[in-house]
């Protein structure tokens, strides 16, 4: 991507996520791209201490916490082909394999930034050892043409970035 000295803004479609199992007992998503990423806010609960007579407080530092991350993707009809052809490695089968693993399966989750040609330009955030804490199943509505989606929610322990060089 050529850089002409002007910064280019990212659209929401230029952020995607992938997951890789952190153990052999978790289903492998084989490079599946999740179209939506939300959460991951970083906050620290601090204490404000007022010494006698002070107009403003001293702020005591505290450790930070990272909020849960939810990744969402669209269901598609390749699931049916996978089920019919090889016993199933499609999205539906992966979700079925994960249901009993909620609260027990760990994944490494990466959030990628893409350029305007939808090519990866960097790994923005890397969450190693993310614990699967929720699955939101696809919903149906016979009167709707909106895409069916499913979501996976992960509790986060730490975050690093592939953008930092040192």
Residue-wise pLDDT tens digits, 113-134: 777 767 677 678 899 999 999 9
Considering only 12-16, 23-27, 155-159, which range has the smallest mean pLDDT? 12-16
User: How many angstroms separate the CA atoms of 151 and 63, rounded?
Assistant: 29
pTM to 2 decimals?
A: 0.80
Over the stretch 87-109, which tens digit does the pLDDT of each residue have?
A: 546 788 888 889 999 999 999 99
At residue 30 the predicted structure's pLDDT band, cuts being 50, 70 and 90, is confident
User: How many angstroms separate the CA atoms of 142 and 21, rounded?
Assistant: 34
Q: Which CATH architecture has domain 12-155?
A: Roll (2.30)
Number of residues that this document lists for the chain? 166
| Phi, psi values for residue 53, rounded to 5° | 85, -5
Is pLDDT above 70 for 78? no
Give the sign of the dihedral formed by CA 159, CA 124, CA 129, CA 133.
positive
């Amino acid at each position: 991507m050529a850089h002409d000295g002007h910064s280019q803004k990212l659209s929401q479609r230029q952020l995607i996520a992938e997951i890789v199992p952190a153990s052999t007992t978790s289903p492998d998503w084989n490079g599946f791209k999740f179209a939506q990423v939300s959460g991951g806010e970083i906050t620290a609960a601090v204490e404000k201490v007022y010494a006698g007579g002070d107009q403003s407080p001293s702020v005591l530092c505290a450790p930070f916490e990272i909020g849960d991350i939810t990744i969402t993707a669209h269901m598609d009809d390749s699931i049916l082909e996978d089920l019919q052809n090889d016993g199933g490695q499609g999205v539906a089968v992966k979700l079925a394999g994960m249901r009993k693993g909620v609260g027990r399966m760990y994944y490494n989750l990466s959030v990628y930034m893409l350029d305007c040609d939808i090519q990866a330009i960097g790994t923005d955030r890397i969450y190693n050892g993310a614990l699967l804490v929720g699955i939101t199943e696809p919903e149906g509505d016979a009167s709707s043409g909106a895409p069916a989606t499913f979501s996976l929610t992960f509790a986060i322990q730490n975050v690093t970035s592939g953008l930092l060089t040192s």
